Chain A
C-alpha cells in the first residue's frame, strides 16, 4: 500500500485520461469563439462564469452535506463592486483591482455572516442563508440613491487588464482563465487535509469533535471558500450581463446555483461544470420558445433528479449510460485505482 494512497469518492487521482480531457476541453473552449456568433460566445462565457459559484455550493454540499442558498449575496457583492467602480462612479475598470477587491470583500462578508448562519446546520443553515439574501435584497432595493433601486445599474463598460481595454472577446478569455484557475484551485482544495476533515464533520459530528476537529471554524472557512468563488465570478458576470440589479441578490438566484449543482451531480468533481453548462443552456433553450416556463422546467428536472438519482445528477446518468463502453476501454478501472 503506497504512502500516498488517495482513493475515495470525491478524491479522483491525477490520471492521464482526465488530464487529456481537461486539455482538450480547454482547447475547445479557447478556440470556439473564433467560430461561433457573438451571441453563442456570450452564452458560453456565462456558463463559464456560473462554474465558480456552483463549485461553492458543491463544496458545501459534498463535504458538509448542507444546502447553500446564499451564493447570490457574493455574486451580488462582486457585481455591484464592478458596477460602482467601472460603471456608475467610474473610478477604475482595471480587473487587477476589481477582482482582488471583490475577493477581499467576499471573504470579509462571508467571515462575518458565517458567524451567524454557520452556527447551526440543516434547515437552520438553509433558511438563514435565504434570509440573508433577502436582507441584502431589500437593502439594495431601498438604497435607491446609491444603487439605483429596482432599475439597477446598466451601461457598465468593458474592463481593462494591465491598463489595456478589453474587447468582448478579451472578456471571454479572461472569464475562461479565471474560471479554469478557480476549478484547479478547487481541485487542490478538495485533495487537501482541510476537505478530508470537513468530510469527517459531516460524517459524524460527535466523533469529529472527539478527535479535536474545530468544527465551527472549519465550517466557517468552507463557507468563506464558497463565497470567495462567487465573489470573483460576480465581477465578471456584471460585465457579461452589462447590467446589475437587486435581483442579483434575490433568493431564487441563489437557489439556481443549488439547482445547477444538483443537475450536474454533487458526487462528481465535474458535476458543477456539467451543471453550470446544462443549467445555463436549458435556461437559454427553454426561454427561447417559452419565456415564462424555464423556471418551471428546470424546477421539475431538479425535483425528478433528486428523487431518482439523488446526488448522482446528469454526470452520474451519463456515466451509467456510457459506463460499459468506458469499462471496455479499461478506463473505469483506473478511475478508482491508485495514482501511483
Chain B
C-alpha cells in the first residue's frame, strides 16, 4: 500500500480527542511518506477537520503522539510546526483581506525565511523574497491580480491565494481541508489542477479532505474513509467506495 520504500515523513500514533460525548478522533494512527498523496472522505462531523487540526497543532490531543521524521512534535505550537513543514490550508475563508495578493504571499515568504523581527529594513530591499513571491504568483496564475486587495476577489481566487501562501512556506506535507468547497464546478478542476501540479512537482506529501468523490478518484490512488473519529476503510478509491460499510456511512449525504 502506498510508497513503502520511502521513509516515513509524518506519523500519528493513537491520536485521541473527545469533545464531551463526541468522539472527534478515536485512537487514530497514520503514517505518510514523502510524495504520498492521501485523500480523506467522510460525512460531516466525521472528524476530518479535527484530524488535520491535530496534525497542525490548532487542536491539542487528549492523548497520542505525532512525529515528523521521527522527531516528536506533539507539544509544539502551530507556528513551530508550520516552520517544520506541516502546513494547512483552510476550508473556510481564512485570508488577510486588507492586503494585496502580492503582500499576502510575501508575508508567508518572509515568515518562511524567519524574518519576523526585521523592523528597520525596508521591505522593498528584500529582493530575494520579492523574487520568490513573484515566482509563486506566476506558478499559481495570480500575477495578473497581484495588486488587487484580497477581499475584493472572488471565492475561487481566495482559495488559490490560500494555497499559494501555503506553498510559500516550503512545506514538507500539505494538509488541504476541502480546497473546493463553495467553488463552482469549472473553477474546482482548475484549482485542483494548479494544486496537484505543484504537489507533484515538489514531490510533497499531502492529505486532502474532499467531498466530491469523483474528484477523489482523480486525485490519488489511495483514500481513507472516516466515520465517528475512526478510519473505517483505506485503499484505492474504486475498491473502497464499493464496500458496504462505506456506502452506509457516506450515503447519508447523498452519495
- Residues of A that sit less than 8 Å from B by CB: 1, 3-9, 185, 188-189, 191-197, 199-200, 203-204, 206-215, 217-218, 221, 225, 339
Contacts and interface: CB of A to CB of B under 8 A. Distances in A.
Contacts of B106: 196
- Overall SS of chain A's interface: helix
A206 B162 CA distance: 12
A131 to B, nearest CB: 27
Nearest to B125: A4
B82 A211 contact: yes
Contacts of B118: 192-194
B124 A211 contact: no
A218 B169 CA distance: 18
Contacts of A215: 79
Interface string B69-104: 000000001111011000110100011111110110
A1 B123 contact: no
A7 B95 contact: no
A213 B111 contact: yes
Contacts of A204: 94-97
- Top 10 closest A-B pairs, CB basis? A203-B96, A4-B124, A212-B82, A207-B94, A209-B78, A3-B130, A211-B108, A194-B119, A212-B83, A193-B110
Contacts of B146: 1, 5
Contacts of B127: 3-4
Given A197-B110, A209-B77, A211-B166, 12 more contacts: A1-B147, A5-B102, A8-B98, A8-B100, A194-B119, A200-B99, A207-B94, A209-B78, A211-B111, A211-B112, A212-B111, A217-B116
B214 to A, nearest CB: 28
Interface string B141-185: 001001100000000000000100110110000000000000000
Contact of A221 (B96, B117, B129): B117
Given A7-B100, A189-B120, A191-B122, A209 B82 contact: yes
Contact of A193 (B56, B77, B115, B143): B115
A183 to B, nearest CB: 15
Contact of A203 (B99, B102, B166): B99
A210 B78 contact: yes
Contacts of B213: none
B124 A192 contact: no
Contact of B117 (A209, A210, A218): A218
Nearest to A338: B147
B228 interface: no
B65 interface: no
Contact of B134 (A1, A203, A209, A217): A1
B134 A199 contact: no
A8 B124 CA distance: 13
A192 B143 contact: no
A257 to B, nearest CB: 21
Interface of B: 56, 58, 77-80, 82-83, 87-88, 90, 94-100, 102-103, 106-108, 110-112, 115-127, 129-131, 134, 143, 146-147, 162, 165-166, 168-169
B238 to A, nearest CB: 33
Given A191-B122, A191-B124, A193-B118, A203 B147 contact: no
A151 B77 CA distance: 49
Contacts of B112: 211-212
22 contacts: A3-B124, A3-B134, A4-B127, A9-B98, A192-B118, A192-B120, A192-B122, A193-B116, A193-B118, A193-B126, A194-B118, A196-B106, A196-B123, A199-B99, A199-B103, A203-B98, A207-B90, A209-B58, A211-B108, A212-B108, A212-B112, A213-B111
A215 B83 CA distance: 13
Contact of B97 (A194, A203, A206): A203
A194 B116 contact: yes
A3 B123 contact: no
Contacts of A3: 124, 127, 130-131, 134
Nearest to A65: B98
Contacts of B99: 8, 196, 199-200, 203
B122 A210 contact: no
Contact of B123 (A185, A192, A203, A207): A192
B88 A210 contact: yes
Contact of B103 (A8, A214, A218): A8
A214 B79 contact: yes
Contacts of B166: 210-211
A189 B117 CA distance: 10
Contacts of A192: 118-123
Q: Which of A9, A212, A218 has the most CB of B within 10 A?
A: A212
Contacts of B83: 212
A208 B98 CA distance: 14
A4 to B, nearest CB: 3
Q: Which of B90, B98, B116, B165 has the most CB of A within 10 A?
A: B116
A212 B116 CA distance: 10
A212 B169 contact: yes
A33 to B, nearest CB: 31
A4 B88 CA distance: 28
A31 B110 CA distance: 43
